[in-house]
Amino acid sequence: LTSMPLLKRYLVAYFFYNMGVQTVMLAATLYGKSELAIPAEFLIIAILIIQLIAIPGAFAISKLSEKIGNLKALMVCVAVWVFICIDAFFVPKGNIVQFGILASVVGFVMGGIQSLSRSTYSKLMPETKDTASFFSFYDVSEKIGIVTGLFFFGFLTELTGSQRTSVLALMVFFLIGFFLLLYAKSAQRKLSLL
C-alpha cells in the first residue's frame, strides 16, 4: 500500500466515511427509541424499510457511478450522509413520519455506498493473485472504524447528555471522508496524466 498512493488515499477516506456509516447503522434504532421516543413497532418496520430500499439504492448508485465514475459517486453518497446527520439532529421527538422518511433515505444510500465502496477498492487494486491480503486491509479498517465510531458516539452522548449532539458529530467523519475522497481523486488525475 505504501507504493500505491491512490489505493492508500482511498482506504483512509473509506475508513472515515465508513466509520460514520457503520455508526449510523448500529445506533439508529437506539437514537430513534431513546432520543426520539419512536415506538418499538415502528422501529422494526423502519429496519425492514431500510433493508428493502437498500436494494434499489444499490442499483441507482451503480448507474450513477457508470455516468460520473466511482469516486465522484462516492462523494455524492457521502454528501447525502452529511445531510442525513443534519436532518437527524432536527427530527422532532415522536415524529414518526419524518423518522420514516429519514430511514428511507438512509436505506437508499446505505446499500449503494457499501457496494460501491467495495467495488471501488477492487478496481483500484493492482492485478494480483493475493487479493486476500488487500481485502484484509479493507476489512480491518472497517472493523476498527465500527469500534471507533461507536466509541465516539457513546463518549459524546455521555459527555453532552444528548444523542443529538453525537449524531451531529458523526457529520465530521463524513466531511473528513469527503475531503479525503477529493484527495484520492487528485491522485487518480495525476496517475491518468502519466
Place of cell 466511482: 70
How many Cβ atoms are within 10 Å of 148's Cβ, its own excluded?
16
Report d(CA 144, CA 12) in Å as an integer.
12
Copy the grid coordinates of residue 28. Answer: 439508529
- Would you write out the chain's pLDDT as a tens digit for each of its 194 residues? 667 788 888 999 999 999 999 999 889 888 999 999 999 999 998 889 888 999 999 999 999 999 999 999 999 999 999 999 999 999 999 999 999 999 999 999 998 898 899 889 888 887 777 777 777 888 888 899 999 999 999 999 999 999 999 999 999 999 999 999 999 888 777 766 43
Q: pTM of the entire structure?
A: 0.90
Contact by Cβ (8 Å): 167, 85:
yes
- The number of angstroms, rounded, from the C-alpha of 120 to the middle of its chain's C-alpha atoms is 14
Report d(CA 154, CA 105) in Å as an integer.
24
Closest CA to 5 of 188, 130, 146: 188
How many Cβ atoms are within 10 Å of 164's Cβ, its own excluded?
18
